[in-house]
Chain A
Amino acid sequence: MKVATKSYGLIEVDERQRISFPLGILGFEPVKEYILLDAERQPFYWLQALDVEQVAFILINPFLFRPDYELDINDEELQDIGLSGPEKALIFSVVTIPSDGGPMTANLQGPLIINRETRSGKQAVLTDPRWKTKHDIMSELATARKGPC
C-alpha cells in the first residue's frame, strides 16, 4: 500500500509494517494507525501515522544504549495489546532530536510496546524513578560502552 510520509514522501509499504495503537499515543490519542519503517540511518526507525502525514516519531531500541533498562509492567496492562508475556514484545523508545541543536534524547519513561504477532502497540508509563523522558543517547551510549559487557 502507498503511504504519505513526513520524511520520504509517498512510499510503498508492506501491510506487515502496519501497527495499530488502539489507545493511541499520549497527546496523539485520536491517531491509532501507524507504519513502522526503517529510517535511512540505522539503528533508527520511523513510526509514521498512516493517515496523518505530519505525525511521525523517530524510534530506537533502548537496550542499545541502556543494557540495564528494565520495564516493570503488570500482565493486565500487557493484555491491552494481547500480550501474555514479554516474549512476543518489541520495545522502542521515542527519540527527540531538537532543532535547536540540543542533545538527541530518548524517552525511557514512556516506552512503546508492540505485540509482534498481532502488530498492536501501546505507550506504557513506567513508575521507576530511574527512567526519565529525556535520556541523552550519546552520553549514555558512551557510558554503556565503557562499562562491563
Chain B
Amino acid sequence: MLILSRRLNEKVMIGDDISISIIEIRGDQVRIGVDAPKTVKVFRQEVFDAIKAENKAAAESKPVFPELDFGATRDPDAL
C-alpha cells in the first residue's frame, strides 16, 4: 500500500482523472473530496459490507412467507 502524508487542502491524484482532496480534519475524522469520472464507482466500504452482511442474513431467511395484501395482483411485468 502506498502511504502518503497530506495537509489540509492538499490533493492526491490517481491516474489522470481522479483526485482526492483533504477538505477538513477534525479530531479523528477526515472529510475527503473525491473528484472522479461518473464511470468510477466511489462508495464507503461500509456500504459494501452492509450489503454483503444483508445478503448473508437473507440467505439464512426462514422460508415461511407471511401473507401480504398488496391490494392488487402480482406485477404483470415480472417474469
List residues of chain A with CB under 8 Å of any chain B CB. 6-7, 17, 25-28, 36, 39-45, 54-58, 61, 63-65, 74, 76-77, 90, 94-99, 104, 107, 109-110, 116, 123, 125, 127, 133-134, 137-138, 141, 145
Q: How far is the CA of A109 from the CA of B52 in the complex (A)?
A: 11
Taking A107-B51, A109-B50, A123-B55 as known contacts, 6 extra A-B pairs with beta carbons closer than 8 A to each other, sorted by chain A number, are: A6-B63, A58-B63, A90-B79, A97-B64, A110-B54, A123-B51
Which residues does chain A contribute within 8 Å of B41, judged by CB atoms? 77, 125
In contact, B38 and A97 (Cβ under 8 angstroms): no
Looking at chain B, what size class is its interface with the partner chain? 20 to 34
Q: How far is the CA of A39 from the CA of B79 in the complex (A)?
A: 13
Q: Please list 23 pairs of residues, one from A and one from B, whose beta carbons are closer than 8 Å in the complex, sorted by A's number.
A: A6-B63, A27-B55, A39-B65, A40-B65, A42-B73, A43-B74, A44-B65, A55-B59, A57-B59, A63-B75, A64-B70, A74-B38, A96-B61, A97-B63, A98-B61, A104-B66, A107-B55, A116-B79, A125-B41, A125-B48, A127-B47, A133-B51, A133-B53
